[in-house]
């Protein structure tokens, strides 16, 4: 093609773009305007273009040969109610090509409660494996050689007892702690922002992190002491720029905490790891990982490390859970494959691919095999491992990488002006921005401005139910209680008491290392709950105040006839019976509150009077709050499979208090197979994944009007 031809084509394209700038330019939620055409002019002056893989700023990858030398590690994050079932799954997966174990714990464990605690009746064995002591952990890794297999554990709140149990399990398997490899998440700032599986307030939580970094730097040289996670931020609704900026700002804060502990930067920096979500914005996700490495190098240079490895960002990635849809669920296999390819082209070091049924329930063995094989096909059949950084030099990707880095750096600098990430979290800035972004996206999906195939466009008229994994929560809990009782009978009570007292003393005085003291307690067979409580008596519990954003969902529907009709009906109802009042409730230990916050925000904008309930309520506490607030409706949000236990208990608790006229509805990750069960147990309506918020609001108003008509 001649220069004249290129010039003519460019001129024609430019005229077309100028004629329709808004329709051809993509205005992303990150505030980046993506043009339909990129040329070499768009990458002029970008500094990182001259870098090579394995060299700072590592934009093209942390290792010189990347996958051409060694492919990424295939991981499957999983936990199936009991240690026995989880162990069986891990062993099969390892034989089938999985290269490391990633453990998902149940919410009771996350929050530092033993399975026999009354607050966790609906949570034991749901959404992960129940671990109460070393005895459970030994079963979990039975037959899995810990000196050879890398173990990743997603744990933040109860990080001390879980890591202590892992270390003791290694010892009793004959593997000294210096040979243990893997990662503990240990990222508490993210929990305060989005995921909410915290236990203690921010200050003592940061001290726990510093103690873990100190202990592992000295005792566990092959183990990553922290996985600084953006994954749950994106799952909670963060834009990609927010995920990138807040994750790196968290990392900077943790480095400062370790240095304040007296650790030289080069002693621990090489064992820091990161964890990012990979959603459906294919090229931007790849650019995000490249920008993350560039910016982390910039941050770490502030601390003047001597080793080049201290500047490297190494990351695990997981395909998005939020992108999975209940409707037409086999589409999720395609989504996950695209997301996995994006992570690989971005240069991840390890990867988990979600199973297609995870929008509905825990994965089955069938769906987990498809997810794992997605990675095996990527590694062995696509050729992506043959070339280091295949996207290097792309006008679009390089420009996008630069735009992502600039936008994220501006947000990181804003956090610095606030006094750092701990201060920003205390002030609520990250949480507020993420909740605003989540509500904005929900409105875009509800209005079909953002198309989700099979959900808000190209819907199937009839959908066949798929087989799902059902967990008998009661049976799992009884089994766990039996093992706890047996452990307590067989241990030395005096030794347990002494080690727990020592742990409390270390927590109180700051003299000694908390993890070291907890390892002694775990050896004595102190339980996860007992070790957590030994610190609770000193640190206390963190209690968050629920806040709801306003005006964002409603603004998206300004002038919309659908909204005006619904508002008119609400006004008519309010004149007849008072403004309808709704309690949005979170029961059990499920801290995932994106859905609850979006519903509370949207319903408020639509015209309901909304009460946002606190996290971690029991059914009795929610019933008391509903009566005290004089609500008409309780909307229970469930994302962690506790609905079949907790929703009927809530209905009965209201009836027992003479408030059976309060309508109970349930929404969240609920399989259609469970709808009839919930309706039979007094729930008036069920809203599964992908429900349009306007449809939910109309359904709730229908129930209220029906109740008014029949009263």
Mark whether 590 is an active-site residue.
yes
Q: CA-based diameter of the chain, in Å?
A: 88
Helix or strand run (H / E) with residue 273: strand 272-278
Question: How far apart (Å, rounded) are the C-alpha atoms in residues 31 and 379?
Answer: 34
Per the CB < 8 A criterion, the answer to whether 697 and 608 are in contact is: yes
Does residue 21 carry a pLDDT above 70? Answer: no
Instruction: Determine how β-strand 33-34 pairs with β-strand 26-27.
Output: antiparallel
Annotated catalytic residue within 67, 90, 198, 231:
231
Distance linking the first and last C-alpha atoms of the chain: 78
Per the CB < 8 A criterion, the answer to whether 254 and 213 are in contact is: yes
The first and second tokens of residue 422, run together, are 């701990």
Q: What is the mean pLDDT of residues 310-333?
A: 94
The number of CA neighbours under 13 Å toward the Cβ of 503 is: 32
How many Cβ atoms are within 10 Å of 621's Cβ, its own excluded?
Answer: 17
DSSP structural state of residue 287: H
Question: How far apart (Å, rounded) are the C-alpha atoms in residues 215 and 207?
Answer: 12
How many Cβ atoms are within 10 Å of 14's Cβ, its own excluded?
Answer: 11
Q: How confident is the model at residue 548 (pLDDT cuts 50, 70, 90)?
A: confident
The per-residue pLDDT for range 40-79, each reduced to its tens digit, is: 999 998 988 988 999 999 999 999 999 999 999 888 766 6
Does residue 239 carry a pLDDT above 60? Answer: yes
Per the CB < 8 A criterion, the answer to whether 473 and 126 are in contact is: yes
Query: Above pLDDT 70, what percent of the chain?
Result: 95
Q: How confident is the model at residue 595 (pLDDT cuts 50, 70, 90)?
A: confident
Q: What is the mean pLDDT of residues 80-84?
A: 84
Give the pLDDT of residue 642. 80
Give the pLDDT of residue 442. 92
Name the residue among 492, 472, 403, 491 with its Cα closest to residue 124: 472
Name the residue among 141, 163, 147, 132 with its Cα closest to residue 84: 141
The per-residue pLDDT for range 452-492, each reduced to its tens digit, is: 999 999 988 887 877 766 666 788 899 999 999 999 999 99
Give the pLDDT of residue 420. 93
Q: What is the mean pLDDT of residues 150-169?
A: 95
Handedness of CA 647, 653, 654, 655 (dihedral sign): positive
Give the pLDDT of residue 248. 97
Give the pLDDT of residue 475. 86
Cα 560 to Cα 58, 444, 665, distances in angstroms: 48, 13, 26
Q: How confident is the model at residue 640 (pLDDT cuts 50, 70, 90)?
A: low
Alpha helices in 148-280 (DSSP H): 159-172, 188-190, 202-219, 231-235, 240-260, 265-268
Annotated catalytic residue within 48, 110, 126, 232:
232
Query: Above pLDDT 90, what percent of the chain?
Result: 76
Does residue 10 carry a pLDDT above 70? Answer: no
348: which strand partners?
none
The first and second tokens of residue 197, run together, are 């599986």
Annotated catalytic residue within 592, 597, 643, 644:
592
Annotated catalytic residue within 77, 90, 215, 573:
77
Name the residue among 326, 330, 314, 320 with its Cα closest to residue 366: 330
Radius of gyration of the chain (CA): 26
Annotated catalytic residue within 126, 542, 586, 643:
586
Mark whether 77 is an active-site residue.
yes
Question: How far apart (Å, rounded) are the C-alpha atoms in residues 270 and 308?
Answer: 9
Mark whether 231 is an active-site residue.
yes
Give the pLDDT of residue 22. 62
Question: How far apart (Å, rounded) are the C-alpha atoms in residues 25 and 534?
Answer: 57
Cα angle 345, 347, 353 (rounded to 5 degrees) comes to: 75
- DSSP per-residue codes, 497-544: HHHHHHHHHHHHH--S-HHHHHHHHHHTT--HHHHHHHHHHHH----P
Question: How far apart (Å, rounded) are the C-alpha atoms in residues 291 and 525?
Answer: 45
Q: Which residues of 159-171 are buried (b: 16+ CB within 10 A; e: fewer)?
A: bbbbbbbbbbbbb
Per the CB < 8 A criterion, the answer to whether 641 and 590 are in contact is: no
Q: In what order do the strands lie in the sheet with 100-103?
A: 223-224, 182-184, 150-153, 100-103, 73-78, 350-352, 315-319, 272-278, 226-229
The per-residue pLDDT for range 337-384, each reduced to its tens digit, is: 999 999 999 999 999 999 998 887 778 888 888 999 999 999 999 999
The first and second tokens of residue 125, run together, are 């064995």
The per-residue pLDDT for range 664-693, each reduced to its tens digit, is: 999 988 888 889 999 999 999 999 888 999
Question: How far apart (Å, rounded) are the C-alpha atoms in residues 179 and 220?
Answer: 7
| φ and ψ of 352, to 5 deg | -115, 130
Does residue 243 carry a pLDDT above 90? Answer: yes
Handedness of CA 637, 640, 642, 643 (dihedral sign): positive
| φ and ψ of 223, to 5 deg | -110, 135
Does residue 119 carry a pLDDT above 70? Answer: yes
Per the CB < 8 A criterion, the answer to whether 27 and 33 are in contact is: yes
Give the pLDDT of residue 707. 84
The first and second tokens of residue 460, run together, are 């199937």
Does residue 289 carry a pLDDT above 70? Answer: yes
Annotated catalytic residue within 590, 593, 605, 674:
590
């Amino acid at each position: 093609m001649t220069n004249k031809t290129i010039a003519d084509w460019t001129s024609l394209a430019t005229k077309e773009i100028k004629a329709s700038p808004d329709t051809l330019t993509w205005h992303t939620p990150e505030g980046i305007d993506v043009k339909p055409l990129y040329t070499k002019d768009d990458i002029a002056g970008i500094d990182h273009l001259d870098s090579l893989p394995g060299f700072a700023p590592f934009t093209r990858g942390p290792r010189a040969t990347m996958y051409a030398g060694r492919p990424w590690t295939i991981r499957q994050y999983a936990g199936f109610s009991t240690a026995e079932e989880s162990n069986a799954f891990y062993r099969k997966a390892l034989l089938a090509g999985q290269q490391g174990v990633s453990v998902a714990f149940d919410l009771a464990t996350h929050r530092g409660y033993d399975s026999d605690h009354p607050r966790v009746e609906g949570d034991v064995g749901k959404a992960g494996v129940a671990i109460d002591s070393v005895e459970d952990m030994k079963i979990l890794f039975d037959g899995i050689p810990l000196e050879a297999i890398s173990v990743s554990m997603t744990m933040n709140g109860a990080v001390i007892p879980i890591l202590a149990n892992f270390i003791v399990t290694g010892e009793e398997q004959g593997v000294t702690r210096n040979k243990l490899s893997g990662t503990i998440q240990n990222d508490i700032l993210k929990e305060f922002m989005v995921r909410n599986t915290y236990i203690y307030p921010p200050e003592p939580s940061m001290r726990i992190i510093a103690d873990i970094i100190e202990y592992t730097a000295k005792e566990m040289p092959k183990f990553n002491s922290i996985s600084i996670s953006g994954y749950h931020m994106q799952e909670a609704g963060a834009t990609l720029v927010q995920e990138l900026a807040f994750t790196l700002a968290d990392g900077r804060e943790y480095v400062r905490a370790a240095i304040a502990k007296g650790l030289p930067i080069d002693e621990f920096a090489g064992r820091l790891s990161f964890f990012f979500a990979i959603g459906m914005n294919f090229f931007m996700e790849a650019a995000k990982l490249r920008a993350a490495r560039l910016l982390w190098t910039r941050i770490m240079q502030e601390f003047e490390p001597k080793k080049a490895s201290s500047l490297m960002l190494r990351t695990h990635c997981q395909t998005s859970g939020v992108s999975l849809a209940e409707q037409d669920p086999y589409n999720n296999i395609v989504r996950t494959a695209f997301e996995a390819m994006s992570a690989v082209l971005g240069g991840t070091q390890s990867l988990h691919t979600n199973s297609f049924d995870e929008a509905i329930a825990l994965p089955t063995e069938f769906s987990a095999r498809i997810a794992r094989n997605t990675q095996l096909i990527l590694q062995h059949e696509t050729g992506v491992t043959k070339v280091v950084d295949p996207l290097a030099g792309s006008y679009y990707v390089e420009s996008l990488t630069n735009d992502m880095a600039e936008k994220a750096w501006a947000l990181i600098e804003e956090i610095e002006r606030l006094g750092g990430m701990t201060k920003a979290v205390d002030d609520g800035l990250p949480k507020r921005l993420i909740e605003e972004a989540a509500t904005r996206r929900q409105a875009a999906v509800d209005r079909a401005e953002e198309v989700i195939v099979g959900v808000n466009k190209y819907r199937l008229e009839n959908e066949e139910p798929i087989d799902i994994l059902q967990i008998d929560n009661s049976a799992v809990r009884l089994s766990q209680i039996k093992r706890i009782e047996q452990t307590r009978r067989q241990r030395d009570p005096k030794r347990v008491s002494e080690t727990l007292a020592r742990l409390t003393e270390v927590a109180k005085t700051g003299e000694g290392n908390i993890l070291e003291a907890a390892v002694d307690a775990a050896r004595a067979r102190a339980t996860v709950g007992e070790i957590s409580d030994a610190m609770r008596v000193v640190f206390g519990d963190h209690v968050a105040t629920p806040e709801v954003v306003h005006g964002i969902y409603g603004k998206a529907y300004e002038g919309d006839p659908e909204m005006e009709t619904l508002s008119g009906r609400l006004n008519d109802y309010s004149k007849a019976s008072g403004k309808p009042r709704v309690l949005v409730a979170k029961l059990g230990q499920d801290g995932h509150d994106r859905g609850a916050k979006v519903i509370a925000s949207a319903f408020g904008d639509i015209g309901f009077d909304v009460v946002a309930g606190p996290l971690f309520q029991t059914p009795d506490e929610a019933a008391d709050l509903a009566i005290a607030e004089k609500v008409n409706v309780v909307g229970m949000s469930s994302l962690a499979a506790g609905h079949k236990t907790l929703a009927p208990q809530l209905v009965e608790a209201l009836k027992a208090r003479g408030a059976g006229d309060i309508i109970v509805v349930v929404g969240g990750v609920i399989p259609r197979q469970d709808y009839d069960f919930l309706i039979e147990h007094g729930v008036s309506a069920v809203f599964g994944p992908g429900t349009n918020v306007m449809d939910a609001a109309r359904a709730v108003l229908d129930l209220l009007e029906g109740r008014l008509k029949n009263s």
